[in-house]
Amino acid sequence: MTIQEAVVLGLVQGLTEFLPISSTAHLRIVPALVDWPDPGAASSALIQCGTLLAVVVAMRGDVVRLAAGFCSGLATGRPWGTLESRVAWMILFGTLPIVAVGLVARNFIRGGARDLAVVASALAGATVLMATAEIVCRTRAGRGRDGLTGVRLSDALWMGCGQVLALLPGASRSGTTISTGMLAGLDRRTAARFSFLLSLPAIAAAATLEAWEARREILATRDDVLAIGVGTLVAAVAGYASIRWLLRTLASRTLWPFIVYRLALAGLLAGLLAGGWQPAAAARRSGSSMVALPCGNCCSCVPQIRSRPVGRAYDAVSR
């Protein structure tokens, strides 16, 4: 990607990672609308490192206390002995579902899951979960367990399962985890707070794996490294602002504005796709898979098969 693309995508990533509107969906939709190629799952995962840094900085008090409690629990042999140690272990247990499913389905996540029709479906489907959480929350007059002291292991496991849904672009990690946390009995702010902490190991693991496996592709040149670095930095700054704003907002407001936005975006995307819209970049890639026949016979083009033995033989003869 170019520096310009990196700045825009980093800004999109930072602003949307923690808002329950799906950063991955926006990282697919924005490039498609402005005729840029899909940055891919690997580049998206690396840019997410910026939002990982944003969580660590914005919630540094919680992060330091949880890390110290975790180490203390290991040293004393009492992993459930303190609140900090207990919450740290619950975060690890809550991360296991997305690690297991992510490893099994990673080829689909990198490929078919990024289809815009899948994005539209995931946007609409996860919105139903968010709306359900708000309705249930209203029936109990907005009350819920407040603070990390109210988080239980069952809450962490439910939110971990909700995080698995975020493997589909459009579902939204924060949207699914906050909603499942609310359904489990937490208040909005506590669900959001635990959701952000739960994202730390998942984002770190995904970025590490993708960076290692795709290092030759996305970090091949100095320009590639610079673009990824710029995108990551922009995502960190925007992500920090997004976290602080959302935590303040959920203390007194609901998820309904985000629900309405998601439905509108899903409807717009579904309408464009139903009308036959196709991103120009994707169309050009599809068109570039055809090559002209120099013979001038029956067809003007045939599928590109130069990578196959027959194709290489044809090339040699035509030359």
* pLDDT at residue 281, as a whole number: 53
Does the pLDDT value for residue 319 go beyond 70? Answer: no
**pLDDT tens figures, 245-263:** 998 888 788 899 999 999 9
Give the pLDDT of residue 301: 42
pLDDT of residue 317: 36
Instruction: Give the model's pLDDT for residue 314.
Output: 34
pLDDT: which is higher, 99 or 279: 99
Q: What pLDDT is attached to residue 17?
A: 85
**Alpha-carbon span 50 to 122, nearest angstrom:** 24
Which tens digit of pLDDT belongs to each residue from 143-186?
789 899 999 999 999 999 999 998 888 899 999 999 999 999 99
75 token code pair: 């040293």
Query: Which whole-number Å values give the CA distances from 180 to 76, 101, 126, 156, 176, in the listed order?
Result: 33, 18, 11, 9, 6
The torsion angles phi and psi of 294, rounded to 5 degrees, stand at -70, -10
The burial of 158, by beta-carbon neighbours within 10 Å (0-12 exposed, 13-18 middle, 19 or more buried), is given as buried
pLDDT at 300 over 70: no
Average pLDDT over residues 17-38: 86
Specify the pLDDT at position 282: 53
Q: What is the pLDDT of residue 114?
A: 81
* Alpha carbons 243 and 263: distance in angstroms, whole number: 22
Q: What average pLDDT does range 289-308 have in this prediction? A: 40
**For residue 135, what pLDDT band results from cuts at 50, 70 and 90?**
very high
CA dist., res. 19 & res. 253, Å (int):
13
Closest CA to 182 of 221, 226, 151, 209: 151
Across 17-35, average pLDDT: 87
Residue 289 pLDDT more than 50? no
From CA 137, how far away is CA 179, in angstroms rounded? 10
> How confident is residue 61, by pLDDT bands cut at 50, 70 and 90?
very high
Percent of the chain with pLDDT over 90: 43
Average confidence score pLDDT of the chain = 83
Mean pLDDT of 290-318: 40
Which residue in this structure is represented by tokens 């990982």?
52
For residues 182 and 297, the model is more confident at 182
pLDDT classification of 221: cutoffs 50, 70, 90: confident
